[in-house]
Structure 1
Amino acid sequence: MELVGRRDECREIDDLLAAVRSGESRVLVVCGEAGIGKTALLDEAADRATGCRVVRIAGIESEMEFAFSALHRLCATISDQMSRIVAPQRDALCTALGERDGPTPDPFLVGLAVLNLLSEAAQHRGLVLLVDDQQWLDQASSRIMGFVARRLGAESLGIVLATRNFGEDLRDLPTLPLGRLRDDDSRTLLSAVLDGPLDARVRDRIIAEARGNPLALLEVPRTLSSADLAGGFGLPPATFTHSLEGNFRRQIESLPPATRRLLALAAAEPAGDPALLWSAADVLGLDPDVAEPAMDAGLVEIGTRVRFRHPLIRSTAYRCVPLSDRRRIHGALARVTDAAADPDSRAWHLGQAVVGPDEEVAGELERSAGRAQARGGFSAAAAFLERASTLTLDSARRCDLAIAAASAMVQAGQLDRARDLLTAADNAPLSGLQRARVDLVRAQLASIGNHGNDAAPLLLCAARRLETVDAALARETYLDALAAALFAGRLAVDGGVVEVSEAARAVTRGLRSPRACDLLLDGIATLYDDGFGEGLPTVAEALRVYGRGMSPEEELRWMVLACFASARIWDMDRHISLSARFVQLVRDAGAVSHLPLALSCRFLPLLFTGKFDEAARTTEEMRAAIDAMGKNLTPYSEIALTAWRGRHAELEALSAEARLDAHRRGEGHGLTVIAWAKAVAANSRCDYRAAREAAAYAASYRGDGGASWWALTELVEAATRLGETAVASAALDRLAESTTPSGTDWSLGVEARSRAVTSGDDAAESAYVEAVDRLARAGLRPDLGRAHLLYGEWLRRQRRRVDARAQLRAALDLFESIGMEAFAERARRELLATGEKARRRSARPSVAELTAQEVQIARLARDGLSNPEIGARLFISAHTVKYHLGKVFAKLGIRSRSQLDGALRDIHAR
């Protein structure tokens, strides 16, 4: 039947299909109430998708607790392409689907695998994926589908998702809302489905009560007799309510009791396997012929699969029998489900079948939760654990299971349900270890939610509880608390870095054989509790041995703190090696969730060594990762790079938004980075008052990570130029508290430069010479350029113009080669003041017609990465990479990757 009243919607479907046939990818979310015609529109899309491969799946309400169940059905239809995707992605996907054992796969690596699997399946004639009842997909599958829908590029792939509820997984995707039919379209549809006479008054009443819902109109012939429809002296009884579930309930309740039980059994068995259905029916004593009334009424089809006419019939049929019948149904399904082939389904049915406590079933559910969690199915694990907790009489075990369920719910993003479980746990008699575990889960909640500054005090409380229970776990928790406190920074309410450090010192004293992580905790805590000089040797030793004898998981867990510590003690060489190792660990483990933080650590040495092109690419990759994860995180690295490049207007725009986000999430660390970046930019423009204000703010909180100590150099320069010698001297003293003991060329170089700025004429020159020498040796080109600049400015004030020109030319050359535009302009003005005409460096030719993504792909290809590797970096499919590379070759006039290096050599970083 032609879709009535959906001409515009069909045109949208045609546009999507045309794009797929032309090699593009499109996604469309069709949303609307039950019965509004979403399934009919998907049917229409399938009919119109001539020349394309059509794959169709649907969410099933009773399957929502089974991790990746919908994804399993999808992948089964295109499994012939599995061998074509790269091994790390294939392994992650197979682990998620339970087809092999392995470490818990990162969900974004699984998402990339599905994206590339669909892309491969779409190569020959395009692929149209139709997903019905998206609101009933299991959570793991729903998130993967949302990820894939956001990362479509040039795969010849169309995805249409039909849903009642526009949830977070579908945020920002193109939407097609399905509204109710107009009255004239309702009349047309009603006339099309009725053969006999229809009284005008009855017709108008049906249309009024159906309220434009197509399925309500289509169900009328099933609820009214011919005499009712023909009218007569009276109107028919009001049985054609617009409540679809009410209509279906009446149809089901009119069936014999045995038929109702069989329908409920079919509804409780999500796989639609008729063999399983009949086996369970036999256990329940139901003969096959009891299905005939339901089949005659068109409610269900039982053939090679069991299919309900509408998903609402499935859910209504399940609820139309008493709870006692439902328990017997699940018991029968558990009895006929193969414990070896499908232990999780069996455990779930057992859990729904028992009435009172049952330790054996609780154990089965707990084991199923472990399997689900190992595959990354945290929502399913939470459901198994929560049910298991209600089936045990052991109060301690019940609390353990409830806390584990809450932790899994946090991982699954079910934050409200996790809070409810934790609130219930608070009212139970808990041991010290259990109290600590509750605090740990609450800290997880705070970190994932928008109040990250709540995490540190919760972790601190948990660590204190653990000291008498598990000393090693207590030390690990203190490390986590330190990391959380460093991010919270100046926005820490309780449990800031100083408080955590003071508490942690007690558990690190006197360890006979400290691990690398123990040394790291002891060293960082000592830095903040007893002073830099006291903590420096332990931090240096921790970094020297970090990674030795550690599993990759352990090494990865605290690598961000190791990178922080190397920057804190001014050890750039160590930071370079650790940050490179961090990124490598993330890539090797497929731990994509850690990628933004790893790239942020990798960014720092690129910034300080003046490799701005590579720093920009790292920031772009960070942006891609954040976007792919659907998160709203602020890339503070982008703010720092923009400041050092001297792009004032862009910096102001980025900072304004980032400042609001930092306050909302409780990230005081971010506020410090923003202020430090503003101070750098202001000093580059000689706006010393703004620089002094921003630098003073950045350096004002001693318990801060990040840029608080780098801001001291900006404060020294700005305060000196404003004549505030006391402020400059105090800032220099604070800087020297860490730079002098550190003794690296980096630390002593910036200290010498700052000392030169505040020194009298006799002592300044030797300090400038030392700064230039040390910073050159350290390879820190931006700081070296600034040392040349300040030295040249001092020389000019000493009327040594010839000497000044040499320093200022060196500064200008460095700034221009790096891309520090504002500092280059400042050096140029100073050169003019010496009487030398400073010519602007001619702009290097750029390939303006390449898009930012094309430049990024071209550079990665030039560096030797394959298409799948580039796709994994940028969260796009390998075929989209191939498509963009083809455009790059055409625009650059080249034919192979070997020519990319020469073609890209002069392209400016975007």
Structure 2
Amino acid sequence: MTHHGLVGLGTVMAQVEAGLDAGTPAVLWGVRGSGRTASLDALADSAAGRGDRTLRLRLREDSAPVPYGALTDLLSAVDPLDLLLPSGPLQLAVDVLLRRRALPRQGMDPVAVRLALGHVLGRTSGTFLLIDDVQWMDHDSARALTHVLHALPHGTLRVAVTRRCAAPPQAPGVCGPGAVPYELAPLDVDQVAHLLERHALPARWAARMHAMSGGNPGLTLAVARELRGTPTGPAPVGVAAPSHAATPWLADLPEPVAAALLMAALAVDPSSTILRRAGCERADAHLALAAEAGVVTHRPDGSIAFRGSVLRDAVLAQAQDGRRCAAHQALALAVEDPVEAIWHRALAADTFDAGLAAEIEAAAVDARRAGQRSWAGELELLAAQRTPPSDRAYRLARLAAATTDAAAAGRSDLAGKVAAAVRVNRGSPAELIAALLAVVDSAGQAMEEMDQVLSQAASAADGYPSLMAAVEMRVSVKANVCEGRPDKAHAAAARAAELGRRGRDPASEAVALTMRARMERILDDPAAERTLSDALALDVPVDLMGVRNSPQYLAARHAVFDDRLPEARAQLLELLGVAERLGDTADLEEVLRSLAEVDARAGSCAQALQWSDRASAVCLASGLSPGPVWYTAALAETAGGSFTRAAELAARAARISHEEHDMIFASRSLLALGTVQLITGSTVEATRTLERVADLERRQQVADPRILRWQPELVEALAATGRLDEADERAAEATRTTAAYADTGVSAALQRAKAHCAARRGDCDTAAAMLHEAAERFGCLRLPLEEGRVRVALGLLERARRRPAAARTAWKNATDLFQQAQARPWTAWTESLLARLEGTRTVPGATPPQLTDAEHRLVLLVVQGLTNHDAAATLFVSVKTVESTLSRVYRKLGIRSRTQLAAALRT
């Protein structure tokens, strides 16, 4: 059995079980929806698997008023034979308790109750007592149970209770002073994606769903179930989501608390100080109740944050317009930021006011300068709405500014509102097309459903060459990303370049030439560099094109493909400053991802992880598609983090890209996954994954072998699985395609793969010579991880040839390279190999020596409660593979079941 609340709680639950095994009671606490019941379900399943006696008590809010009501429910769950007690008074106490709800309170002997309860609970050693929502236990039951738990010998009972609260419990409660509290913390974005996958929901929703739910598992699933049947899925960041999913969180809050929450929901940066200034005199007390309900967090410094945007949206949806206007008026006088004060003044009334509109526009300019493009777009739209109809030119100019901000912020919802406003105000074709294309641009990788918007834009652009060039550019991007048709994308880009030239629009022409050069590179057309030079020669500032559309950025990417990494890094750092200044979230994410890729390959692994983390934060804040950032995170984790983590991220990125019909990142993510599978010894799975990459690349007509270097990986995987004839065929084909690129890493990687083929055929001298040559070539290219990987392979070959000294030298050289690069998983790998060679144990914290990395990765999933089917889906392997791997793990560890696995792993 699996439990939705346990996604991401594997470490916590392992600690809970370890404590319970040592006789330490556990208190699992968290707010509504945090997974308390699911956690107890998992503990009950674990106890049942061991054959332990389990007593489960589920309390409700209406339980508290009934004296001894909890004990009545507890005894009702006990085997009747265990209720037969030797003493008359004790038996009488049990009988009275079982009929407690029908009897008056008088006549109950507390001492007899405690003695009887002690006999019942202590009858079988190893009893597991689980109590859900212990805060609802009545006073009499709590006193009796507390006494019994203190009186019973240590180890008689294992006790775990849950408590709904927003802060660690201060009082020991029924478990006694030795109980350990464990917080069921919110899920992060990756864990939300896992949760969605477990419930057959698109993982591409993860970033937006995390923003909507705050990572609360119960709220995540409530919203997800609500959105399951909608055609578009979750609304973009910044859009009010359906409010009734949050109803249970808000239902029982008193009116003064609701009023305080409305103030907090309307404030840009809410705090208890601002609420008091706005008239909520008892703000702290009201916020404390809202925090206990799991609606907000109220920090010691007074700041307030909603536990998910859906809760904030629900508060706003329940408020009447009059109350909202009054709250805005109060907040306009309470906040210190003049921009925010103008915002509240504008929203307090919906009348036309030229002076106020001008003030709002000035506030938007300030927000834009601060890089707050989303807020700037909202302010510009609000300024347009407050502009009198007679000032139509001002209104349209403000709508045009809102369009630019919406596209930069990735806000397709805001772009849609602006487009509607442009239509109502009879804007020019240029203004309407800009708004429509902003909707397309803010869709990110998920452009599959943009055909209708592009058709509308094309109709409006008819007869305007420069405008049609912009439309053709989006057609080109969609053909490449969603259809895998670089030939079609090249044709559309060529048309766009010609239209830009005819329209005397250098920026449009440069962007189109850049796209054309990008497609020519994919198709391995020698004209690519000339076309890129033509785009650069137009000398258009990056500011006018956007970073990711500029020839300057493509030049940096070409340097990456050609292994000119120092040059690429210098260009990307320059473009990073531009992206940060412009505030375009998609541009910023793109540059950060490229920097992570460059540093991962160049051996600056710690820096690569930092770039990747920054890109993920941008994605989370903006609601962009998480597929590309998870792919990049997989590369960074492979270099400097964890092979297990890298495989999880790559598999998730591949699924998301497939859901979004993004063939480019589907290929990239599968290559990242296949590489990790190959490195960690899952050669059959690696071969299957890499063959999918080959198929996708063939369908996308990718001809340049330097862009996505899958050929060497597939050759090596085929050789490792004994399919040598196929490996030789693939190697021969790759040799032909890489012949012109002998000075790049793809050629050296192919040399490494051919060495594996030679070794498998028994020609070890040839294999060793080829590996030495490949290592030297990677060293000249300053690709330390690739060089180290070759030296690891060389050491394995030498060990197989019974040359331990040569193997030791190769692995020490690899270890030095990996340590200098801070490549943690690679260092752990070589240190483990050296330790085995010397007959010693590996360093603490590394993968257990008797398990392969692939086996260890599966074990980590299994101990979190995943079924074989779920584990297979997570690891992108078959159920049969999971079953055979688990059987192999059981044999290695000397165990027989899943229930023994967690303890074995801890050991």
> TM (normalized to structure 2)?
0.48
**Greater Rg, structure 1 or structure 2?**
1
